[in-house]
Structure formats: C-alpha cells, structure tokens
Amino acid sequence: MTTEQLVKKTLEKKLLLVNLLAFSLASSFAVLLIVSYLWMTARSDLLRNAEIVAQVIAQNSAPALLFKDQKAAQEAVRALAQDTNVLAGELRYPDGSLFAVYQRPVNAGQAWQIGEVSQTPYLQTPGSHFYSRYLVVTTPVMAEEQQVGSLQMHVDLTSTYQRIAGLIAVIVLATLAAVLLAGRLLKRYLRRILNPIQQLVMLMQEVSGNDDYNQRALIPTDDEIGTLGESFNFMIEQIQRRDMAIGKELVERKRAEVQLDHIAHYDSVTGLPNRHFFNRRIKELEYRVKNFARFGLLFIDLDNFKYVNDTFGHRIGDLLLIAVADRLQKTLRSNDLVVRLGGDEFAVLLDNPKSTDDALRLAEKLLALLSQSFSCEAHEFNIGASIGVAMMPDHVGTFEDLLSSADAAMYEAKAFGKNNVQLWKPAMSRRTAQRFTIESGLRKAIENAELEVYYQPIMELATLRVAGMEALLRWKHPTLGFVSPAEFIPIAEESQLIVLIGEWVLQQACSQIKLWEQQFGPLFVAVNVSARQFRQPGFADSVERIVRENACPAHLLELELTETMLMSQTSETLAILTDLSSRGFKLSLDDFGTGYSSLAYLKRFPIHKLKIDRSFVSDLPGDKDDAAIAQAIISLSDHMDMRVVAEGIETREQAEFLYGLDCTYGQGFLFSKPLPAPQCQDFVEKNLRRALRERII
C-alpha cells in the first residue's frame, strides 16, 4: 500500500492496519524464535543420542578391531539397526581402511554404497551448518588407552524436520487465528473509541457547512477525546461570539465605507460632488468622447468671497457657499454636473450642449444669478464671479485639457476686472502656462538668489532730508527677466509662498537697518506684510526673532498693512496689532482711503502712520476732490497723533502742495526711484551731505 493510499483511509482503518501490522510483526518474531528454539533443541537432542549410541557401539567394537575379528565387528555395528534414524555405520582402522559396515536397507534405486557413504558431503562436524539432511557422527574406538579405529555414523534428520514442520504449522495456524481474533477485537474496540471522534467530525462538518454555531459536542468520556470535545465546544462559543462581533463590525465598516466614500467624493460644506468625484466622472465619460459627444465646462471663481470669509468668519463663508451651490443646482439641467473644486471655485460640466453660444448664454445667466445679493444671517453680500468657458471637442480633445482651458479662461476673466465671462482662446493657456512658470520659478527664487530688495527713499517734506525707506521686492527671472511685483506677488499669495518670501524680505530689511543705523544714524525701513503672512500663527514672535537675530532696533522696523487686512476679523486683528505695538514695532496703514475704511476701527487700532494712496496724489494740486481727500486725511492723522506719508509724488507742485497741508513725508519718483541697497546708500550719503552743507550755509 502506498503512502497516498494510506492517507485516503479512514482513521479506524489506519489504526486497525497499524495495530495488526504491529501484532503480526510481533507474532512473526515470536514464531521465528520458537521455531529456531525447536530446531536447535531437536537437533541437539538427536546429536546427543547419536553420540551416546556411537560410544556404546565403539566400546563393543574395540575387541573386534583389536583382534581383527570382523564377524564380531559386524555383529557390533549391526546393533545400529535399533535406531531408525541411523542410515549407516562404518568401522575403520586408524589408517582409514574399512573394517566393518552397517547400512539400513532403502527403497529400490536408492541403495547405499559403502565407498560412497564416507565420501558423501554430509555434516562432518556437529553444528557446522544450520541445516542439512544428514548428520555424521565420528567416534574414536579406544583399547587400552590407544585408538584402534574409528566409528562413523550417518544419522537421517528427515523425521526430525517433519516433526518440526508439523509444530511450525500448528504455531502458524495458531498465530493466524490469534491475528484474526485480535483484528476483530481491535475493530470492535476501535469503533467504541473512535465513535466520539466520528461524531465530533460530523458535527464539525455540519457547523462548517451550515454556519450553525449553536451545535455542541456531547462526549461523556473523561479522557483526551472528552477534553477535545470540551475544547471544541469552547472554540465554537468563541467563534459564535466573534462571528456576532464581526457581523456588527462589518455592518459598521460598511456604513463607514459608505460614509468615507461620500466624504471622499462630496464636499462637506455644500454637499456638491468634489474634485475626486469629478475626476471619476470624466473617466466614465471618456467612451462618449470617442463617439464625438460634446461637452462644455464652466469654471467659476467667486470674486469677493475671500473678503467675506476673512471679515465675517468661516461660518458665514460656509453659509454663502451653500447658497451659491443651491443657486447653481436650481439653474442647471439634471444631466449637468455641478462640482465644488475647492475654496471658492466651482465647475459646471455641461452634458452635450447644442453649441458654444448655448454654453455662453448659460454662463451669463449664472453670472447674473451670482451677482444678485445673498442673505446670510442678516448680512447682505454682493460677490459676483469670474467664469471661464471651454468646449470639447471645439477647443480641446480631452477632459484634462478641458479643465485647464476653462481655468485659463477664468483667470482671463479675473484679469478683465472680474465679474465677467470669458471664452477660452489659445493665448489664455499661454498666459496661464507663464503663470505656472512664475509660480514654479518662485519656489526656487530664494535658493537661486534671484530675489533682491530695492529701497525707495522716504523724504521729510519740511527739510527734504531722507527719513527712511520702503523695502520693495524685485525678482529677476533667469529666462523672463525682471518680473513685475504686480504679476508675481498675487501668485505668491495664492500659492502661500508669500509667507516664506515675506520672512526673507524681513531678514534682508533688518540686516540693512542695522548697517545703515551704524553709518547714518536712525533711518526707518517700511516692509509690506501680506494678509496671509499676517495671519500666520506666531507672526509677532517670528518678527521679533528676526529683529533679535540681526540686532536691529525694533522701532526702526515699520510694518505696512492694508485696510482690507485690518477690516477682517477685527478682534483677532486687534490682538495681533496690539502685540506687535507692545514689542516696539511701528505700524503703518498703506493705501489709506482706497478700501473700506472705518474711523471707528481706525481709532481702536494702534496705527502710527497713514500712507495716502498715489491715486489721490497723481492729480494734485489741480483736482479739488483729491485735494480735499488729502487735506482730510492729513487733518485726521494730525488729530489722532499719526504721521502721514504721501505716495507717488512726481512733481515739485505736488510736493509743495502736500507740504503746505503739513504732510510729514513724501515718497515718489520726484525724489528717487526704488534703488538696490548700494545705490540707495549712495543716495543717502549725498542727501545727508547736501543737508549738512545747506545747514552750514
């Protein structure tokens, strides 16, 4: 039986075979020992008897050999006929010659020959072979202590073998009977022993087949099988408990997966599909593109949402986004897809619009709806939107290009003054690509030393002496050349690079303040602070650290802020401004009068200086309105103990007029354009020498 066949047998048959095999081997070994013992005993007894007979015959034959009485010798050996096992006997002289012989008669054709008997290769010495048919016994014949001859007997072992064979047959039959009986007994007892295991196996099959964990094993024995049954019952109980727990967990997990899928593909604020859903949807629609289906995409960016969010908080901002989403959904068809891409950006995927004109008409309709006021908790907002439109396959061939083209058209709408619709043109994508080039270049600009801080002198109008400088950032791109701050600063704001860049500008300005203070005395430097930089956690700590690292006097660093920054989240703004002022930093309000200024807020904030925007200076002194505004700002600042800086002075008449209004400082091309630090240093040296010379004169 092969190992594979044995493996396929039942446990009962395996145990039965093993036990029978062991019993059979033991029985066979016992039979072998018994047979060997019987054979050795019978042969030993026969040999001993033959030797005794030979000794008797030899004694009786000694006189005959001594006196050479052949007749007496013949009579003596004939006595061997009494032993039926003796076949022949020979008396020989010491020289080996035959003297007398006895030979038992045999069947016809089997007569013995005396000469041949002695030469037959029988057993010559007792015990030299385990098995042979004949046994040869040689005994010396002694007379007066001298050997006078020898007696050689030939004994037949056939009867002994027959007797032993009979005993072996009896033993084998008895052994076979014992094996059969043992097999029957083993089978009976093995069934009793294995019956609980069989029941346990059937129970396990039923449990696994039907997933019924209410079944239990009933095994009354106290042995290892009983312990196995108890362990099985315990295991089933544990599985049942875990199955119930896993069932609950699977339900919860399924619910969580559905929830996570919803979170992953839908916006948490508006409930609209998000960018991930949009990407998945356009992959599903790719087959329709191959069949020349038409799609339109409206890329919508809310124009003034950032102001609302920063001024009134994120909760009001979220309510506004919900209202915008509701208007968009109610306006569009059911097969059109509205998506919130993130922040204040939405996208509308038009499914098979009839023409580009239809898409533009819908965009204009949405623009009109979004231009209407929104009511959010007693607040009224007019935000408007910039919408870019792109078509497929009219403009592009893939959804990826459709999105980027609509995005480029949206940026074009913003560049046209916001709150308008623009249809994509190839030049728009080129400008967008340049925008991305600028953004990627900005990320390496500091590392590659492409940025430089220029300084524009701020003059004291009464003496025309340099009082300080405004730090202005300049960027020379390796391929684009000088990039206008008006172009790269908004990109830096949107990409959050402005925080890193603003910190670098502060480092440069503080370092320069320290050098100029040592050379020229106290000259303040005004540094513009972006809204994102101002809102960074720990902004005041960061400024103080930079000042301390450069050993810069805090009162010579002037931080310029815009009105929009101050008007948003006033409690937080007030806390930051108060913290900065308490640390000794001067605060300046840039472009005053152009935003949503409130005198009440201005009174609360620790502002040290106001800057009149260049739009109010450019038409002085001829424009009466600008003159009145300038006079009001200067008068207001005087009563609130603030200094005033007029920006954009380009003519002597403007300077003289502002001086006549008691404006403290002036800044503009009349005095100097923004200069690199070394040239600005030369300008200051010349200015101070001239001031010194005029004072001496």
pLDDT (tens digit per residue) in 290-316: 677 788 899 999 988 877 877 778 888
- Give the CA distances from residue 490 to residues 78, 108, 294, in Å, rounded to whole numbers and listed in that order: 145, 138, 35
Residue type, 665: Y
Predicted confidence (pLDDT) at residue 566 exceeds the cutoff of 90: no
Predicted confidence (pLDDT) at residue 240 exceeds the cutoff of 80: no
- pLDDT at residue number 113: 44
**Partners of 470 in the β-ladder:** 456, 526
- The 8-class DSSP code of residue 614 comes to G
Let me know if residue 60 belongs to a domain.
Answer: yes
Residues 300 and 256 in one domain: no
Which one is predicted more confidently, 452 or 225?
Answer: 452
Query: The domain spanning residue 516 has which CATH number?
Result: 3.20.20.450
Residue type, 257: E
Query: The domain spanning residue 167 has which CATH number?
Result: 3.30.450
Per mean pLDDT, which of 93-97, 168-172, 210-214, 472-476 is the most reliable?
Answer: 472-476
Residues 499 and 607 in one domain: yes
CA 36 from chain center: how many Å?
Answer: 75
Residues 640 and 548 in one domain: yes
CA 258 from chain center: how many Å?
Answer: 22
Residues 236 and 292 in one domain: no
SS3 359: helix
Contact predicate 92/149, CB 8 Å? yes
- The 8-class DSSP code of residue 462 comes to T
Q: How far apart are CA 34 and CA 37, in angstroms?
A: 5
Let me know if residue 432 belongs to a domain.
Answer: no
Other CB atoms within a 10 A radius of the CB of residue 243 amount to 13
Contact predicate 86/53, CB 8 Å? yes
Q: Which of 424, 455, 489 is the last residue of a domain?
A: 424
- pLDDT at residue number 258: 78
- pLDDT at residue number 689: 85
- pLDDT at residue number 8: 54
- The residue assigned the tokens 């580009």 is 356
Q: How far apart are CA 371 and CA 359, in angstroms?
A: 18
Tokens of 629: 């505004």
Q: What distance, in Å, lies between the first and last C-alpha atoms of the chain?
A: 130
φ/ψ of residue 451, rounded to 5: -90, 150
Q: How confident is the model at residue 622 (pLDDT cuts 50, 70, 90)?
A: confident
Beta-strand relationship, 451-460 and 465-477: antiparallel
Let me know if residue 2 belongs to a domain.
Answer: no
Which one is predicted more confidently, 214 or 578?
Answer: 578
Let me know if residue 653 belongs to a domain.
Answer: yes
Let me know if residue 412 belongs to a domain.
Answer: yes
Which one is predicted more confidently, 106 or 264?
Answer: 264
Output the CA torsion sign for 520, 521, 523, 529. Answer: positive
CA 324 from chain center: how many Å?
Answer: 39
- pLDDT at residue number 109: 44
Mean pLDDT (the chain) is: 81
Residues 144 and 82 in one domain: yes
pTM of the model: 0.51
Tokens of 690: 């001239």
Maximum distance among all Cα pairs of the chain, rounded to whole angstroms: 189
Residues 17 and 153 in one domain: yes
Contact predicate 240/246, CB 8 Å? no
Which one is predicted more confidently, 505 or 213?
Answer: 505
List the domain range (segments joined by +) for residue 30.
9-105+133-209
Instruction: Report the alpha-carbon angle 631-632-636, nearest 5.
Output: 120
Q: How confident is the model at residue 484 (pLDDT cuts 50, 70, 90)?
A: confident
Q: Which of 207-216, 523-532, 539-548, 650-659 has the lowest mean pLDDT?
A: 207-216
Residues 241 and 303 in one domain: no
Query: Is residue 679 classed exposed, middle or buried when 0-12, 13-18 and 19+ CB atoms within 10 A define those classes?
Result: middle
Other CB atoms within a 10 A radius of the CB of residue 465 amount to 17
Let me know if residue 86 belongs to a domain.
Answer: yes
Residues 460 and 609 in one domain: yes
Total of domains in the chain: 4
Contact predicate 155/86, CB 8 Å? yes
Q: How far apart are CA 438 and CA 486, in angstroms?
A: 12
Residue 531: partners with Cβ closer than 8 Å, 6 or more residues away: 310, 493, 562, 564, 565, 568
- The 8-class DSSP code of residue 131 comes to -
Contact predicate 411/431, CB 8 Å? yes
- The residue assigned the tokens 């939405």 is 346
Which one is predicted more confidently, 109 or 259?
Answer: 259
List pLDDT tens digits, range 177-189. 887 887 778 777 7
Residues 325 and 463 in one domain: no
Q: How confident is the model at residue 213 (pLDDT cuts 50, 70, 90)?
A: low
Tokens of 304: 């003034």
- Give the CA distances from residue 644 to residues 221, 234, 517, 607, 609, in Å, rounded to whole numbers and listed in that order: 104, 88, 23, 11, 6
Q: Which of 391, 424, 457 is the last residue of a domain?
A: 424
Q: How confident is the model at residue 557 (pLDDT cuts 50, 70, 90)?
A: very high
Q: How far apart are CA 697 and CA 692, in angstroms?
A: 9
Predicted confidence (pLDDT) at residue 222 exceeds the cutoff of 70: no
Q: Which of 116-130, 284-298, 497-511 has the lowest mean pLDDT?
A: 116-130
Query: Is residue 369 classed exposed, middle or buried when 0-12, 13-18 and 19+ CB atoms within 10 A define those classes?
Result: middle
Q: How far apart are CA 283 and CA 146, in angstroms?
A: 126
Q: How far apart are CA 135 and CA 152, in angstroms?
A: 10
Q: Mean pLDDT across the stretch 311-336? A: 86
Residues 405 and 300 in one domain: yes
The share of the chain scoring above pLDDT 70, in percent, equals 87
Q: How confident is the model at residue 123 (pLDDT cuts 50, 70, 90)?
A: very low
Let me know if residue 99 belongs to a domain.
Answer: yes
Residues 185 and 290 in one domain: no
φ/ψ of residue 226, rounded to 5: -60, -40
List pLDDT tens digits, range 638-664. 888 889 999 999 999 999 999 999 899
Q: How confident is the model at residue 592 (pLDDT cuts 50, 70, 90)?
A: confident
Q: Tell which residue, 652, 561, 537, has the closest CA to residue 609.
A: 561
Q: How far apart are CA 368 and CA 589, in angstroms?
A: 35
SS3 696: helix
- pLDDT at residue number 568: 57
Q: Mean pLDDT across the stretch 370-385? A: 85
Which one is predicted more confidently, 424 or 516?
Answer: 516
List pLDDT tens digits, range 71-89. 888 888 888 888 888 888 8
- pLDDT at residue number 116: 39
Let me know if residue 4 belongs to a domain.
Answer: no
Predicted confidence (pLDDT) at residue 692 exceeds the cutoff of 80: no
Beta-strand relationship, 557-562 and 524-528: parallel
Other CB atoms within a 10 A radius of the CB of residue 333 amount to 11
List pLDDT tens digits, range 13-65. 667 777 777 777 887 888 888 888 887 888 788 888 888 888 888 888 888 88
- The residue assigned the tokens 């916006």 is 267
Residues 460 and 395 in one domain: no
Q: How confident is the model at residue 567 (pLDDT cuts 50, 70, 90)?
A: low
Residue 457: partners with Cβ closer than 8 Å, 6 or more residues away: 466, 468, 469, 667, 671, 672, 675, 680, 683, 684, 687
Q: Which of 369, 391, 424 is the last residue of a domain?
A: 424
- pLDDT at residue number 260: 80
